[in-house]
């Protein structure tokens, strides 16, 4: 193996490590959103006893949190997916 091949393999291994860190961060983000943020937000909204238009608007917050989680996954797939 010549020096260039060694450098290319070293760089490929470093890039794989970076990708794995980003994927693990995305997985952790999804777990936190689904297991913590959405239930706590839903409970707080329920406890607030809102009515009318305020309730309608605030009830969309958990949906937006779920959409944010999808954006995180889509970003990871877009930037690190494919060849």
CB 26 within 8 A of CB 76: yes
Name the residue among 36, 28, 11, 35 with its Cα closest to residue 72. 28
CB 75 within 8 A of CB 29: no
Q: What is the pLDDT of residues 30-39, one digit of tens each?
A: 999 999 999 9
pLDDT band at residue 2 under the 50/70/90 scheme: confident
Token duo for residue 32? 């936190």
Q: What is the pLDDT of residues 6-28, one digit of tens each?
A: 766 777 677 777 778 888 888 99
Predicted local confidence at residue 82, as pLDDT: 56
User: Residues with Cβ < 8 Å from 77, sequence gap 6 or more?
Assistant: none
Per the rule left: phi > 0, alpha: psi between -120 and 50, beta: everything else, 82 is left
Q: What is the pLDDT of residues 37-50, one digit of tens each?
A: 999 999 999 999 99
Enter the pTM of the model.
Answer: 0.73
């Amino acid at each position: 193996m010549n020096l260039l091949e060694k450098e290319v393999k070293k760089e490929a291994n470093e890039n794989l490590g970076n990708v794995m860190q980003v994927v693990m961060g995305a997985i952790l983000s999804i777990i936190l959103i689904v297991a913590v943020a959405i239930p706590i937000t839903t409970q707080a909204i329920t406890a607030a006893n809102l009515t009318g238009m305020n309730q309608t608007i605030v009830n969309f917050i958990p949906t937006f949190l779920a959409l944010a989680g999808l954006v995180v996954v889509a970003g990871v797939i877009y930037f690190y997916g494919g060849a």
